[in-house]
Structure 1
C-alpha cells in the first residue's frame, strides 16, 4: 500500500502537489508527490505545537525563498544560492516524509492495537480506582467496628462464664460455711472469710485415698515401642503394683506384680515364651494371670489378678476398675500432619491431681519458666482461657495455645510457634508451625504420678533422624518439668498439712476448676458428668 493509499484509508488529511522542480528535470515526468500531512484535522499546521516532535519538524517551507535567476546564465553566487536552496528543500522534504511515516504508524497502532484504546481510558480507570479505594477504606472501617463488637462479645462471654463457674463453686461449698439471710454476719472479717470460702474449692489434706469410681476408665500406662517381646514394665496404678508384658501372640497383658507363691515382684524376673517367670522359684504366668508352670513341685491351679489390657495408636491401655470396660478408648494420636519426635516416661513424687492442675494452667509460665520456653515473655495485663460453656477444651488469650483436658487424666495442647522457643500470632491458626504435646498423668499413688509425655511437630521432620536427638528432647522436658515440680511439691506439702490449694480461683483457672468439678462429680457418682460433650 502506498503512502497516499494508506493515508486515504485512514482518513488522514494530506496535501498533494506536482513538483515542478523535480518534474522538469531530465528523465522525470510529472507525478504526485506527498510533501506534507497535518498532525490532526484541526491543527492547521504540520505538527501540533504540544507535540514533542514539533522542534524537529516545525521547519519553514523553503519554496517561498527560491532564488530567482536574472539571466540565462548564473554567476557563482547565484549558483551557490541555488545549490543551498536545493539542499534546504531536500532536508525539508526528508523531514516531511519522515513525519508522514511516523504519523501514519501512530494512526495504524491507534486503530489496530486495543491496548491503545485502553490507554485512552486512563482517566476513567483513575476515577474507578479512586472510587474503589474509597469503598475499601469504608470496608476497613466496618471491619474494625465488627472486630470491636466481637471483642466486646467475647469479653462479655468470658465474664458470664466466670459467673457460671462461681455459681458452680457456690453450689459445692460445705453447709458449714453457709449462712441464712436472716442472720447477718457479726463482723466484716467474718463476711470476708465466708465469701472466700464460698468461692473456693475444697482441695485440702491430708490426701485421701482414691475413690473407686475414678478407676472405671481406660488409662494409658506405657508407649508401645517401649514394650518389646522380652520386656517387663512395672507400673503402680491406684496404689496397686502391676506388670505389663507381651504374651505368645504379641498382644500386651497386665497382671499383678506379685507372685502367688512368696510375693516376689515379678518384674525382677523375665519373659519366657510369652509368660512372666518369677525370679525366685521359676513360676510362670500368662497374660490372664494363670500360672502355667511350677518347677520342682506338684502343679496346682493358681491364678493372680489381671486387668483388661489393650494396645491402640502406639500406647498400652489398662482398665483398673470393677465395672465392665468401656467399649471405646479415647484417641490420643497427634493431629494430621504432625510427626512424633519424642516419647518420654517419668516417675514423679507428686499426686496426679496437683500435676494436672499445673498442666492446665498457662498463666504461671512468665513467672515459673523463665529459664526455658517462657524466657523473655512479657507479663500480659490480662490472661484468659476461652472455652465453650459445656466443654473441657479451649484456647488461651493472648497466647497461641489450644488446650484440652481429656478424661480421666490426659492434657493435650497445640502451641503455635515461629521458631523453637518463640510464640507468635493471636491463635494457632495464624501460626505456620506448631508443637503438639500430650501429657498423661497416671495416678500411681497418693504421692506419686507416672507421667507419659509425647511431643510432635508439624515441621522439621529431619530431626527424627538426628543421632541422640531423643536425649536432647528428654533433657529439655526434664528441665521444664523441674521448674514446675519444685512448686507443686511445695503445694503438696502444704496440702498434707491441711491447706486448701484451691482456696481462691480466678478467671484464668477456668480449665483447672472444671477438671476439679468433673472429678468431684465422678467421685460422687453423678449420672451426668459436668462439661461433657
Structure 2
C-alpha cells in the first residue's frame, strides 16, 4: 500500500500536441494525461522505485483548425485560433484546479484517518434523532428505577418497624413461635398488605400516671450544674430523684453536695449562706462541711450530727453527683464539644415535665418542620422520607436528609452537631460537607416525677467574636427559650394524655429509632439487666 510518508507530488505534466500529431490521421482530437508520483515504503531498508500513476485522462477540447497552405492565415482563421486558444486555457486552468483538489483529497485521505469518518449533515441528523430516542428511553428507565427504589424504601421502612416491634416484645412472652408470621420479600403489594394485616405493629407501653423512679436509674453519674455558676460564696439548690440537695464549694474549693435539709428543724439550707467553706443554716446557725458533718452548733452543746451527702466531682466545666447506693463508677462520660469549638452559652432551666418525655422529644428531629416553624426550622421543606441512620448496636448516628449528628449518652444526655451556613439555615448532606457547625448539649436531670432540670450548652466553630459582644448571653437565652417553648407545649400535652391513660409510644415508625432505643435501654436498667442494650456498658 502506498505510504503517506512516501507520497510526493510532481508538477502536472501536460504536453501540447505537436504539429506532427495534428497532421496524423485519426478522429481529429488529441488528449493528455495528468500524472503523480507515489513513493513506496522502505522494505528492508531499500526503497522501491517510484512509479508514475495516471490519475485521470482528459481530452483536448480544441478542434483541429486546418491550416492554409499559404504562408499566412487570414483574419477569420486567426480569430478562430485565438478564440479556441483562450477557451483551451480556461479549460486547462479548471482542470489544473480539479487536479489540485483531487490530489489534496488523496493527501487528506492518507494523512488524516478522521477524513474516512466524514459524515454528511443528513447522517448526523439521523444519528442525533436516534440518540434522542435512546435518551428518552433512558429517562423512562430512570423513572421506573426511581419507582422501584421508592417501593423498596417503603418496604425497608416497614421491615425496620417489624424489627423494632420484635425488639419491643417482652422476652418472657408466652406467644408461641407458630403465631408469629415472618414476612418474606415480595414485589407484590397484595402480599405486603397481607403481611401488614397479619403482623400488627408492636408498641412500648408508656402510659398512665408518672411512676416513681426506679432505684437502678440512680446508679449513674449525673451532671447537675455548670462550674461557672458555682462561685465560692454561692449555693445551688437542686432536686434529683425527688430528693432536695444543695451544692456549694468547701474550703479547698472543691464542690460538695448535701441534703438540703437541716438536721435540727428541717429548714432548707440553701436559704442560708456559705461561711468559710461551710454552709450555714439560716434558722439557728448550724454549719455543715462538704462531707455533711455539722461542725458548729451555736448557743448549745455540740452534738455528733451528720446529714446525708453524695459523691460530688467536678470535670470539664460541670459538677457531677452520684445519687445511687452502689459504689460510683470510676469513669465519667465526656461531654466536651469537639476540637475547634468554643462555648458561647450555658443555660439552666426548670421545666414542669417528666425527664423521659423531654428526652423522647430531643431524640426526634422529624417533628422540626412542623413544630419549629417560627425558629430554626422556619422555611424547611417536608422531606418525603426522614431516616436516622445508626449502627445496629449503638445509641448514636446521623439524620437523613438533615446534616445533623446525634448521640444519646446514658443516663440523660443528648449531644448533637448541626451543619449550618447561617443562622436558621441548613446546607449539605452531612456535617462533614458543611463549613460551619453548632454543637449542643442537653442534660435532662430527673428532678421529680413531673419536673426536669435542663442544662443546655451551645458551642460554635465560627464567629468567636460573639463571645465578647455585650449582653449576647441574653440573646442566646431568649432564642433557646423560644425554641424550647415550641416543644414544651406539645410535651406537656403528651404528659396530660399519658396521665389520662394514653400510650405515647403506641405506634412507633422508622424515624423513632433513637427514641425507641433510649426507652429499651431504660427498661433494661429498671429490670436490672447486667448487660445493657445498644452499648458495651455493664450495669453494676
What's the TM-score bracket when you normalise by the shorter of the two chains?
Answer: 0.5 to 0.7
How far apart in 2 are the matches of 1:158 and 1:491? Answer: 25
In structure 2, the residue matched to 1:299 is 302
In structure 1, the residue matched to 2:472 is 469
In structure 2, the residue matched to 1:357 is 360
How far apart in 2 are the matches of 1:324 and 1:395? Answer: 34
Q: Is the alpha carbon distance of 1:384 and 1:182 closer, same or farther for their aligned partners in structure 2, counting shifts above 3 Å?
A: closer
TM-score of the two chains, using structure 2 as the length reference: 0.67
Q: Answer yes or no: is the 8 Å Cα contact 2:443–2:456 preserved in 1.
A: yes
How far apart in 2 are the matches of 1:223 and 1:152? Answer: 49
Q: Answer yes or no: is the 8 Å Cα contact 1:158–1:386 preserved in 2.
A: no
1:311 to 311, 314, 330: 314
Q: Answer yes or no: is the 8 Å Cα contact 2:261–2:267 preserved in 1.
A: yes
Q: Answer yes or no: is the 8 Å Cα contact 1:173–1:201 preserved in 2.
A: no
In structure 1, the residue matched to 2:203 is 200
In structure 2, the residue matched to 1:251 is 254
RMSD over aligned Cα atoms: 3.0
Q: Is the alpha carbon distance of 1:155 and 1:456 closer, same or farther for their aligned partners in structure 2, counting shifts above 3 Å?
A: farther
The answer as to 2:274 corresponding to 1:271 is: yes
In structure 2, the residue matched to 1:164 is 163
How far apart in 2 are the matches of 1:194 and 1:207? Answer: 33
1:342-395 Cα deviation digits (max 9, x unpaired): 000000000000000000000000000000000000000000000000100000
How far apart in 1 are the matches of 2:427 and 2:482? Answer: 23
The answer as to 2:239 corresponding to 1:236 is: yes
1:205-234 Cα deviation digits (max 9, x unpaired): 111100000000000000000000001000
How far apart in 2 are the matches of 1:304 and 1:392? Answer: 38
SS of equivalent residue, structure 1 residue 300: coil
Q: Answer yes or no: is the 8 Å Cα contact 1:161–1:389 preserved in 2.
A: no
2:489 to 455, 461, 486: 486
Q: CA deviation at 1:192?
A: 9.5
How far apart in 1 are the matches of 2:496 and 2:154? Answer: 37
The answer as to 2:387 corresponding to 1:388 is: no
1:243-294 Cα deviation digits (max 9, x unpaired): 0000000000000000000000000000000000000000000001000000
SS of equivalent residue, structure 2 residue 411: coil
How far apart in 1 are the matches of 2:355 and 2:371? Answer: 19
In structure 2, the residue matched to 1:327 is 330
In structure 1, the residue matched to 2:370 is 367
Q: CA deviation at 1:166?
A: 2.1
Q: CA deviation at 1:163?
A: 3.8
Q: Is the alpha carbon distance of 1:462 and 1:523 closer, same or farther for their aligned partners in structure 2, counting shifts above 3 Å?
A: same
Aligned residue pairs, count: 382
In structure 2, the residue matched to 1:500 is 503
1:384-413 Cα deviation digits (max 9, x unpaired): 000000100000000000000000000000
Q: Answer yes or no: is the 8 Å Cα contact 2:161–2:508 preserved in 1.
A: no
Q: CA deviation at 1:154?
A: 9.5
Runs of 4+ with >3 A deviation:
148-163, 171-175, 178-184, 191-196
In structure 1, the residue matched to 2:427 is 424
Q: Is the alpha carbon distance of 1:530 and 1:472 closer, same or farther for their aligned partners in structure 2, counting shifts above 3 Å?
A: same
Q: CA deviation at 1:171?
A: 3.6
Q: Answer yes or no: is the 8 Å Cα contact 2:180–2:199 preserved in 1.
A: no
How far apart in 2 are the matches of 1:246 and 1:359? Answer: 32
Q: Answer yes or no: is the 8 Å Cα contact 1:339–1:458 preserved in 2.
A: yes
Which structure 1 residue ranges, 5 or more long, are not aligned? 1-122, 124-143, 185-190
How far apart in 1 are the matches of 2:345 and 2:171? Answer: 40
How far apart in 1 are the matches of 2:409 and 2:199? Answer: 31
